[in-house]
Structure 1
Amino acid sequence: MANIQDVAKRAGVSISTVSRVFNGTATVSAEIALRVRNAAQELQYQPSRAARALRANRSTIIGLLISDIQNPFFSSLIRGVEDVVQSSGYSLILCNSDENPDKERQYVEVLCAERVAGIIIVPTREHQRSLRLFRDREIPVVAVDRRVKDHSTDAVLVDNVRGAREGVAHLIANGYQRIGVITGPVSTTTGRERLLGYRQALEQAGIVHDPLLERCGSFKEHSGQQLADELLDLEEPPDALFVCNNLMTLGALEALHMRGRRVPEDMAVVGFDEMPWAALSSISLTTVTQPVYELGSTAALRLFQRLKSPNIFTRQEIVLAPMLCVRGSSRSRSAPMP
């Protein structure tokens, strides 16, 4: 593999001249610059981006730390971040915490060591002591999808309370009264806020809140299945389920299938987060959909605002609106069967 010495020899210039051409740190005549670039092309030489960034005392790497790479929700979020990052001339490092705070902390330390220019993080919990590492190194951070209790950290979110409230209100309007909820850990703002929206919908409809109908899990498929089984085992089981993320919804549907419960004839279901098969499978699933791509792209745009104007002191919280997509799984109890 060719190195900078090879390029200098081929172009008939000094190594420092080659360095100036690729770093843009000093004026080089057009004729010499063309000679250097032609030599580099002939030798298939690629200058080190990391080395250039180090010499310029700035990085062109953005870190993205998500909480569950197996969740298809994050595919669109990653694409939204990546499109903005790449169009800005930067590169992206992707890390996955697996909803594990210890693993998250390790990746935070790695990203700091790599001298990244900025971080976008889906935090595993609201209290984020590890963010102090970024602040100490003056690395800008944007939280996405979930809040953190840090008055200096920007956040880009979806209105979870509103989305959950609308999903449950839809079930109530269609005649369901005993509605079970399956949500994620209340240590995350997504888990806690979607539970709050569920409770608000019941209160607004004058339905007495029953703690037996509430289940909190891990935002994983197996958790959704286990918690749905618990609700089905109740002496008085629910007539509808509101499930607060896509993987848990899949698990809940598996539990219903294993017990021979039909959707919506025996149990209505509304999920939170779109699934690729939601409108295509035998169960046409009603979902609270999130603008996931916009979550990612908006978070990246805010991060670059911080990079361009590092003296911005005002924290910004951007909240995007969800949308209820009504399909067959929540059909009215009085509606005729097709």
Structure 2
Amino acid sequence: MAKIKDVAAAAGVSPSTVSRVLCNGPVSDKVRKRVEAAMARLDYRPNLAARRLRSQHTDTIGLIVSDIRNPFFTAVSRAVEDEAYRNGMRVILCNTDENPDKEAMYLRLMQEERVTGVIFAPTRQMVTSIDPQALGFPVVMIDRVSADAATDAVVLDNRRAAAQLVGHLQQQGYRDIGGLFGNTSNTGMERHAGFSEALQQAGLAAPARFVAPSVEAAEQAVLQWLAEPARPQALLVSNGVLLLGAVRAIKSAGLHWPQDVALVGFDNEVWTDLLGDGLTVVEQPVNEIGRTAMAMLLERLDEPERSQRIVVLQGKLVVRGSSLPQ
């Protein structure tokens, strides 16, 4: 009678991959068809009771994000869940509020739940300290990664996107450009780097301020900045949550864009097209980020020993009235 190791040898995969096919777990369609063909050739019949007793993982993945209220993470989470469902998997969603203690707690929860893998948007403190070997499951980072990270990742080309926004503002004649960035993630730091480099290359100052990732923190910071004698002609904001805070501040100060201050940012949310002539933003490929992260997790499960892979996606500049001089 054929055994799992016989099927694995015939299909050219590991026994664990055969097990995932048997339990409708996370494998690519190509590998699944190859394994199923090998089982048919060998007339393999699984011992279901024994397989359940030996199983060490569930058909569940963890999805750990910093703030589910942020529309970016809402959209990415939906894309991950859709792809997980298509592959016969469930999702445990956790929200960390950019808190390293909560991140550590939820990673322990994932170990206790014996998840198959985790898709994770970590803080700067956590991004370099994650060790998939110690955790016992593969990790794919989304939105945030560092050169020292030991995991796969899918991210936006943040430096290029920020530089693209700066270049657009320069084309409209703006020279005094300020930047507002989140202070808890590598994403904010990378966008600040792209912002600074673009302005420095043009021989211009790059004034920047860093705030906690909340609407309220952004609103207070921008209100203070706008009240200063040397307020910027234009303001670049590093994510959708902070952009909403900047919008509130400009309105509270009785100012208008672009007449008093031009405004550009990240994340093409529905509301960004509904204010005045709309806000100029970099649109992130949120669905592609979620789908790619799930695909990378499945690939890592099929090939645990392959080298680290980082996928860098490009944003799309959406120009609207907030940055066009009138």
TM-based fold match above 0.5: yes
Q: In the aligned structure 1, how far is the partner of 2:119 from the partner of 2:110?
A: 11
198-207 or 72-81, which deviates more:
198-207
The answer to whether the 8 Å contact 1:140/1:303 transfers is yes
Please state if 1:73 is matched with 2:66: no
Classify 1:85/1:233 alpha carbon distance in 2 versus 1 (closer, same or farther; 3 Å): same
The answer to whether the 8 Å contact 2:100/2:125 transfers is no
Q: In the aligned structure 2, how far is the partner of 1:263 from the partner of 1:240?
A: 9
What residue identity is the alignment partner of 1:61? Answer: T
Q: In the aligned structure 1, how far is the partner of 2:303 from the partner of 2:61?
A: 16
Query: Which of 304, 309, 316 pairs up with 1:310?
Result: 304
| Partner SS, residue 147 of structure 1 | coil
The answer to whether the 8 Å contact 1:263/1:283 transfers is no
Classify 1:200/1:64 alpha carbon distance in 2 versus 1 (closer, same or farther; 3 Å): same
What residue identity is the alignment partner of 1:82? Answer: E
Please state if 1:276 is matched with 2:273: no
Gaps of 5+ in 2: 1-22, 25-44
CA displacement at 1:130 relative to structure 2: 5.8
The answer to whether the 8 Å contact 2:120/2:139 transfers is yes
Classify 1:274/1:264 alpha carbon distance in 2 versus 1 (closer, same or farther; 3 Å): same
* Partner in structure 2 of residue 323 of structure 1: 316
CA displacement at 1:107 relative to structure 2: 0.5
67-76 or 272-281, which deviates more:
272-281
Query: Which of 186, 193, 209 pairs up with 2:190?
Result: 193
Larger Rg: 1
CA displacement at 1:61 relative to structure 2: 0.5
Classify 1:240/1:137 alpha carbon distance in 2 versus 1 (closer, same or farther; 3 Å): closer
CA displacement at 1:150 relative to structure 2: 4.2
* Partner in structure 2 of residue 140 of structure 1: 138
What residue identity is the alignment partner of 2:141? Answer: A
* Partner in structure 2 of residue 123 of structure 1: 122
* Partner in structure 1 of residue 47 of structure 2: 26
* Partner in structure 2 of residue 223 of structure 1: 217
> When the two structures are superposed, what TM-score results if normalisation uses the length of structure 1?
0.79
Alignment of 1:254-273 (within 5 A): 254-273=248-267
The answer to whether the 8 Å contact 2:239/2:266 transfers is yes
Gaps of 5+ in 1: 1-21, 28-50
Alignment of 1:1-338 (within 5 A): 25-26=46-47, 55-125=54-124, 127-128=126-127, 131-132=130-131, 134-148=132-146, 150-185=148-183, 187-207=184-204, 209-210=205-206, 213-312=207-306, 314-332=307-325, 335=326
CA displacement at 1:58 relative to structure 2: 3.3
Q: In the aligned structure 2, how far is the partner of 1:57 from the partner of 1:82?
A: 22
Q: In the aligned structure 1, how far is the partner of 2:256 from the partner of 2:309?
A: 45
Cα distance per residue 1:155-194 (max 9 Å; x no partner):
1100000000010111111011111110011x52111111
| Partner SS, residue 95 of structure 1 | strand
The answer to whether the 8 Å contact 2:128/2:149 transfers is no
> How many residues are paired up?
284
The answer to whether the 8 Å contact 1:163/1:194 transfers is yes
**RMSD in angstroms over aligned alpha carbons?**
2.2
CA displacement at 1:135 relative to structure 2: 1.8
Classify 1:256/1:26 alpha carbon distance in 2 versus 1 (closer, same or farther; 3 Å): same
What residue identity is the alignment partner of 1:203? Answer: Q
> When the two structures are superposed, what TM-score results if normalisation uses the length of structure 2?
0.82
